[in-house]
Structure 1
Amino acid sequence: AALLTLTRNRGAATYAQTLHNIPETQVTTLDNGLRVASEESNQPTCTVGVWIGAGSRHEDEKNNGAGYFLEHLAFKGTKKRPCAAFEKEVESMGAHLNGYTSREQTAYYIKALSKDMPKVVELLADVVQNCALEESQIEKERGVILQELKEIDSNLADVTFDYLHATAFQGTALARTVEGTTENIKHLTRADLASYVDTHFKAPRMVLAAAGGISHKELVDAARQHFSGVSFTYKEDAVPILPRCRFTGSEIRARDDGLPVAHVALAVEGPGWADPDNVVLNVANAIMGRYDRTFGGGKNQSSRLATLAVEHNLCHSFQTFNTSYSDTGLFGFHFVSDPLSVDDMLYCAQGEWMRLCTSTTESEVKRAKNYLRNAMVAQLDGTTPVCENIGSHLLNYGRRIPLEEWDARIAVGMVREVCSKYIYDKCPAVAAVGPIEQLLDYNRIRSAMYWIRF
């Protein structure tokens, strides 16, 4: 017993030391408002990227998909470097390019050897400020994106989540997809893309983030040299205003009995990024867990819902999610099940939600908090995840929140109180695709969002 206690104490000390020994994130703001942030380490490689506060939420019905289109064109040449020259320059460094567009953010980043950091900064600045937008490349990528849209339509999980946003945030900017509609992609012009860049690619909405074997001073010097020309002013009539997106309890059902399995997603309105309740909802998600038939383990699952799923053959898989935006979010679960099991799986999942609000045990909460701590540390393994963490944090929170602070937030989280605030007796949004004849009427689903208790 004494040996086990010693081992546990040593592990706790190691975890605390790990949190304490993480390098400090240094942040410098340039004269034009662009923030430069980095975490220095002894890695032989580095990841440098530009995070921009612009996504499909900043688009309208006519140009929806412009940000995603630009992501495809970002590394296809600039005004200074034709496509072939740009690719040759990147390949000569052995670097890797990547980027993504979401509903509120756009990111372009490059992983390379640490010694090549100044060149990487120069390339990123060229991409952001001088993207060529050549007509030939636009037409080429138009065809690529249209093909991608067909592939997305065949991914029922993605379709279900897009439907969930469409019904939960109906009539608002968050209802639109990141990729845009087929009609928009067919008709977006070079002028539309250039206008999007001019409107949204402003220095105060950008973060140049870096992680790895780099010097913050050298990073700032390179940023001043190459990013000082990024505009920080708007035309008088072109200041983008981001209206609040309201949540509506509602549903979308796309019944197709020709499909083998049903996809169902259910969510309530969650908090925005900066709300401290976010951490507690992540603990709640860890209690519910996730499951897939390929996991193995039989009935010996850590999650009660996963155990029920195995014992009664309720689903092929389920996952929980807590998707946050600047002022709102979606907190819920998604499952894939056989047609005749949809009702039973939804009943059990909503039952678990009610248990989170009323009767979660201390041991469950403790296990979930430890799981979340472990996942939080594991996510920062490598320069690219660290760089992404820095960039997104500065956009979402205005600063990078250290792991020690996250750990403290996890420790004090009150699961029952927070879950009752967001889940109990709230109107959910429901999206379902496939053979969903057995899915209960919306009013029945709504009535399962509370328990009549005496």
Structure 2
Amino acid sequence: GGGGGGGGGGGCHCHPVRRLPRSRCLLSAPVLGKRGAASYAHTLQNIPETQVTTLENGLRVASEESHQPTCTVGVFIEAGSRYEDAKTNGAGFFVEHMAFKGTKKRPGSAFEKEVESLGAHLNGYTSREQTAFYIKAFSKDMPKVVELLSDLVQNCALEDSQIEKERGIILQELKETDSNLTDVTFDYLHATAYQGTALAHTVEGTTENIKKLTRADLASYVDIHFKAPRMVLAAAGGISHRELVDAAKQHFTGASFEYKAKGSVPDLPRCRFTGSEIRARDDALPLAHIALAVEGPGWADPDNVVLNVANAIIGRYDRTFGGGKVRVLGVQQGEPEAFSSVGKLKVKWLTVSPYLQNQSSRLAALAAEHKLCHSFEPFNTSYSDTGLFGFHFVSDPLSIDDMMFCAQGEWMRLCTSATESEVTRAKNYLRNAMVAQLDGTTRVCENIGSHLLHYGRRIPLEEWDARISAVDAKMVRDVCSKYIYDKCPAIAAVGPIEQLLDYNRIRSSMYWIRL
């Protein structure tokens, strides 16, 4: 994601046996009738409160207690590729790999074996502004899990032999990433939109950097970023906050919180958005990947909620979703030539045109009916002080122009004529996605850790619901106009993209000439 989409555009490393499944199920609509609405409101009001305690060294300890047999405990760190320079880009991703390969206390595979002995799952990821390590285990093992995580972030061994072994693994991963055209497209999008700034860096780093990074580079990265005030210890599940704080005091009190040299405290590098493009034409590829984005708001900006509603109106589409004109078996009436024989009956096939199966958005309906693309998805990727708001689609070479025309037309429609009915539908979709965050301890734990790093507090779902409820069609039109209308976009295109129009032609579709 994420980046994500989301969050957004982050690399991930985890042991292949330990990848945690992510639930993709959607809950039923929360506002169907009085009983459903009351149940939904009751659910929001009865979510356990997030408790937060700050230790003397600046480490924030946060938890949400629930009566479950399992828990997820994680360490979320304010570190990522945005804090790297051109020479050290990739260090954070390299450190994440090394964190699973033993500590000073548990060398080699001893760390992973101890996690396995608990029947637990270990996972981690690195993004542009955040790094996380978390373990899902039985609730009774929470103190042991806290001790394991403290060992992982405070005593990473960084053995020379393991570094060389992981170097080869990461280089192989980079080759595999190059074959994932969606990831490549989004990396290009960041590279052009934030050219000359730290957000242009990929999370994984360059092949050249991975070959050159030394143990000293990795140790320096850990020493600078793995400081207590930059970390959040978050937990969710069948745990006690008091016991979590006690375990944190026991194992994280020694976490460093001081910088030896003046000026060594890492600052968030300033970034700027540049309307521009990168085109990587390769006619040997079967499909074109296109991403177009304007500059969006940072994490804490209230406009984010409105833009998420706008994206829900646009919707998403994949050919596997089905869709197309609905043929209805009708009662005999009308002209004879409109009928066909089915058995002994004369029946009429009614073609119902704008109503399409499984397609509630206009753009999805157009894509399905006219076969404009294989898939498309809008995104709103936020960072501390900026973001990327746009859409990504995959299409046949001869459909690029039509798909771009329809997608930009949908943007212009949102800016000028978004309706209350589609805003209501989009708000219900967002509410469903929001309530889905209650599903499982891992998602709640990630939510707590990310919120404390991004907002400085855990925003309750009840507050999110109030923000969503406050959005109306006028807000959607105004906010979309603010970020989209007559703005210079960033464009990334990969594959057989000969039909992609010149940048200035695409730029000229970012506004309508109206009287």
- TM bracket (short chain): over 0.9
Alignment of 1:273-292 (within 5 A): 273-292=299-318
**Partners of 2:64 and 2:265 in 1: CA distance:** 33
Alignment of 1:251-266 (within 5 A): 251-266=277-292
1:404-432 CA-to-partner distances (Å, cap 9, x unmatched) read: 10011111122111101100000000000
Shift of residue 142, structure 1, vs aligned partner: 0.6
1:385 aligns with 2:428: no
The change in CA–CA distance for 1:88 and 1:418 in structure 2 (over 3 A counts) is same
Shift of residue 312, structure 1, vs aligned partner: 1.1
- Aligned residue number for residue 453 of structure 1: 514
1:321 aligns with 2:374: no
Question: Which of 466, 491, 509 is matched with 1:430 structurally?
Answer: 491
**Partners of 2:383 and 2:310 in 1: CA distance:** 19
- Aligned residue number for residue 390 of structure 2: 332
Shift of residue 297, structure 1, vs aligned partner: 3.0
- Aligned residue number for residue 142 of structure 2: 117
1:250-303 CA-to-partner distances (Å, cap 9, x unmatched) read: 000000011001000000000000000001100000000000000113233101
**Partners of 2:295 and 2:224 in 1: CA distance:** 30
- Aligned residue number for residue 3 of structure 2: none
Question: Which of 100, 105, 109 is matched with 2:130 structurally?
Answer: 105
- Range that drifts further, 300-309 or 326-335: 300-309
Contact 2:69 2:139 in 1 (8 A): yes
Shift of residue 7, structure 1, vs aligned partner: 6.7
Shift of residue 76, structure 1, vs aligned partner: 1.0
The change in CA–CA distance for 1:7 and 1:168 in structure 2 (over 3 A counts) is closer
Question: Which of 323, 327, 348 is matched with 1:297 structurally?
Answer: 323
Secondary structure (helix, strand or coil) at the match of 1:384 reads: helix
**Partners of 1:355 and 1:147 in 2: CA distance:** 44
- Aligned residue number for residue 455 of structure 2: 397
Q: Report the residue type matching 1:188 in the other structure.
A: L
**Partners of 1:359 and 1:155 in 2: CA distance:** 37
TM-score normalised per structure 1:
0.98
1:369 aligns with 2:369: no
Shift of residue 379, structure 1, vs aligned partner: 2.8
Gap runs ≥5 in structure 2? 1-30, 325-355
From the CA coordinates, give the structure whose radius of gyration is larger: 2
Q: Report the residue type matching 1:285 in the other structure.
A: N
**Partners of 1:334 and 1:106 in 2: CA distance:** 25
1:372-422 CA-to-partner distances (Å, cap 9, x unmatched) read: 000111133100000000000000000000001001111112211110110
- Aligned residue number for residue 272 of structure 2: 246
1:204 aligns with 2:229: yes
Gap runs ≥5 in structure 1? 1-5
1:344 aligns with 2:402: yes
Contact 2:72 2:441 in 1 (8 A): yes
4+ long deviations beyond 4 Å: none
Question: Which of 178, 187, 190 is matched with 1:165 structurally?
Answer: 190
Contact 2:273 2:295 in 1 (8 A): yes
**Partners of 2:365 and 2:172 in 1: CA distance:** 40
Q: Report the residue type matching 1:51 in the other structure.
A: F
- Aligned residue number for residue 225 of structure 1: 250
Q: Report the residue type matching 2:87 in the other structure.
A: K
Question: Which of 476, 480, 494 is matched with 1:419 structurally?
Answer: 480
- Aligned residue number for residue 114 of structure 2: 89
Alignment of 1:11-160 (within 5 A): 11-160=36-185
Superposition RMSD on alpha carbons, in Å? Answer: 1.0
- Aligned residue number for residue 440 of structure 1: 501
Question: Which of 284, 291, 294 is matched with 1:268 structurally?
Answer: 294
- Aligned residue number for residue 465 of structure 2: 407
Q: Report the residue type matching 1:264 in the other structure.
A: I
Q: Report the residue type matching 2:319 in the other structure.
A: R
User: Percent identical across equivalent pairs?
Assistant: 85
Aligned residues: 449
**Partners of 2:414 and 2:361 in 1: CA distance:** 12
1:52-79 CA-to-partner distances (Å, cap 9, x unmatched) read: 0000000011110010011111121100
**Partners of 1:134 and 1:19 in 2: CA distance:** 48
1:310-355 CA-to-partner distances (Å, cap 9, x unmatched) read: 1111000000000000000000000000000000000000000000
- Range that drifts further, 38-47 or 377-386: 377-386
Q: Report the residue type matching 1:239 in the other structure.
A: V
